[in-house]
């Protein structure tokens, strides 16, 4: 087994699953921060745009 094969195997077995876990945590963190910011304002227009921003960022993270 060459070094490139070992690195490819490590990447497939360890790194890719870790990235999916980190993506899940990142999306949860983004949504929790959005809820925190929404709780600090009573303006419905700001709350709407905060929701739109959080959804857009989450969708971009998932797409990437």
pTM given for the model: 0.72
Overall average pLDDT of the 21-37 stretch: 92
51, with CB counted inside 10 A (0-12, 13-18, 19+), is middle
pLDDT of 33 > 90? The answer is yes
Inform me whether the pLDDT recorded for 1 exceeds 80.
Answer: no
């Amino acid at each position: 087994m060459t070094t490139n094969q070992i690195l490819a195997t490590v990447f497939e077995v360890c790194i890719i699953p870790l990235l999916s876990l980190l993506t899940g945590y990142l999306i949860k963190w983004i949504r929790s921060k959005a809820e925190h910011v929404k709780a600090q304002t009573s303006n419905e227009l700001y709350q709407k745009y905060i929701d739109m921003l959080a959804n857009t960022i989450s969708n971009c993270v998932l797409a990437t």
